[in-house]
Chains A and B, each alone.
Chain A
Amino acid sequence: AQSVTQLDSQVPVFEEAPVELRCNYSSSVSVYLFWYVQYPNQGLQLLLKYLSGSTLVKGINGFEAEFNKSQTSFHLRKPSVHISDTAEYFCAVRFMNTGFQKLVFGTGTRLLVSP
């Protein structure tokens, strides 16, 4: 079955420290990859996406992610986090076979940034 795994349910980090949020997927078909952020009581906002080309993609708010096809991973990174980055982060995948229009989401990682 095609699935998306975010192993870390919560990641605490101090302000200005670097952070990595992990995402792995299981599939043998081609994929498009996305990271979304959800602030409290708000909708999902796209941070960045990988469709093709360079495996390192840059998004909004200083975030970046790297696609690793051999490890089926798409980890999200930021070199220096701010208090305002505290939110829930979701990895999502489009599997390019039947039903490819839909996004399959991971369970999310809550990033907690403290002073």
Chain B
Amino acid sequence: GAGVSQTPSNKVTEKGKYVELRCDPISGHTALYWYRQSLGQGPEFLIYFQGTGAADDSGLPNDRFFAVRPEGSVSTLKIQRTERGDSAVYLCASSLAGTGPSYEQYFGPGTRLTVT
């Protein structure tokens, strides 16, 4: 079946602009995660959705970052007033459930964001 998909695969934007990154999880997965991977680093957690609600947004770096998942499926990560430091690969993952010991997070290919 289809895996996690993310669009666009690459996004180049100018400093100060607004961007939206989209994640389409695996069908039936109720949990969805966003991570950010800067060059030479491991992925860092941003936010976790269980259904439509953000259950944990402790990783969002500041109030320029916001994410939604209005129907409990597709999610959009929104970044306002982009800064050069926001340049990174943004990864999305989904899992059958957020709780329980055996869940596995399936990752998408990521969106490479470059802020010039």
Contact = CB atoms under 8 A, between A and B. Distances in A.
B42 A99 contact: no
Interface-central residue, A49, A101, A103, by most chain B CB under 10 Å? A101
Given A102-B33, A102-B56, A103-B105, A43 B91 contact: yes
A46 B42 CA distance: 14
A108 B99 contact: no
B59 A43 contact: no
Nearest to A36: B107
Interface of A is mostly: loop
Interface residue tally on A, bucketed by range: 20 to 34
A105 B31 CA distance: 19
Contacts of A102: 33, 45, 48, 56, 59
B55 interface: yes
Interface of B: 3-4, 31, 33, 35, 40-45, 48, 50, 55-56, 58-59, 91, 93, 98-99, 101-102, 104-105, 107-110
A-B CB proximity, top 4 nearest: A105-B42, A44-B107, A102-B45, A43-B107
